[in-house]
Amino acid sequence: MDTTSLGLIECGSLARGSLVCDAMLKTAHVHLLMASPVSPGKLLIGINGAIAEVEAAMEKGLQVCEEQLVDALFLPRVHAELARAFHTSLAAGGVAAMGVVETASVSSALRAADASLKAAQVRLLSLRLGAGIGGKAVYHLAGEVADVEAAVEAGVGAIRISSLLVQTAILPRPHPDFAAYLDGGAGQEPPPRGVVSFEEEE
């Protein structure tokens, strides 16, 4: 399956969101990435697949969601690392510098993360979407300082509504304990529900 396309709908009702998710999956040949409740009582639905299939599923989902639509996102050619971010194992490797981008919505974080990854030689350490953080989202990047700075700047630039950006941070030479916590260090526990991260290809 071509998994280079990603779609996301945030529905303001859990019951309506169930109808939306079912309708999307019945409309097109797409893969369900997540159907997760997030604060305050929303359902976050993520899908991927071929561009035309995701586009058709999103169109149907938006029709069914109607006035309960909170936000939506369609990335027709998503960066491969962001697509893999819906796996469950963390990447391994040292962290020269770390960038953090925190947003007020899940859709804005995905759009920003895609732009960050396309702008510089960085990798995605973690991506947390909505659950347990009040519906906000945050992602962490690793790379050389200049690349991390460029990636964070590109991510911020991709957020179309300035109020959706909560905060950013750049950590040159982050403390090894903190870096290992996000970067597959010894003793890592599986990410809690609502945290998604990626495993690098060899």
**pLDDT of 75-121, one tens digit each?**
998 888 787 777 545 565 678 899 999 998 888 999 999 999 999 99
pLDDT at 198: 42
Most confident of 42-46, 114-118, 158-162, 182-186: 114-118
pLDDT at 192: 45
pLDDT at 181: 73
Backbone angles phi, psi at 128, to 5 degrees: -115, 125
What pLDDT digit, counting tens, does each position of 56-67 carry? 999 999 999 999
The tokens 């639905």 sit on which residue? 45
Which amino acid is located at 178 in the chain? F
What pLDDT digit, counting tens, does each position of 125-158 carry? 888 887 777 778 899 999 999 999 999 999 999 9
pLDDT at 190 over 50: no
What pLDDT digit, counting tens, does each position of 7-38 carry? 999 999 999 999 999 999 999 999 998 888 88
pLDDT at 64: 96
Nearest C-alpha neighbor of 27 from the set 1, 59, 67: 59
Percentage of the chain lying above the pLDDT 90 cut: 51
3-state secondary structure 140-186: EEEECHHHHHHHHHHHHHHCCCHHHEEEEEEEECCCHHHHHHHCCCC
How far apart (Å, rounded) are the C-alpha atoms in residues 123 and 78?
A: 14
Q: What does DSSP assign to residue 14?
A: H
Distances in whole angstroms, Cα of residue 117 to Cα of each of 35, 62, 66, 79: 25, 28, 32, 7
pLDDT band at residue 202, thresholds of 50, 70 and 90?
A: very low
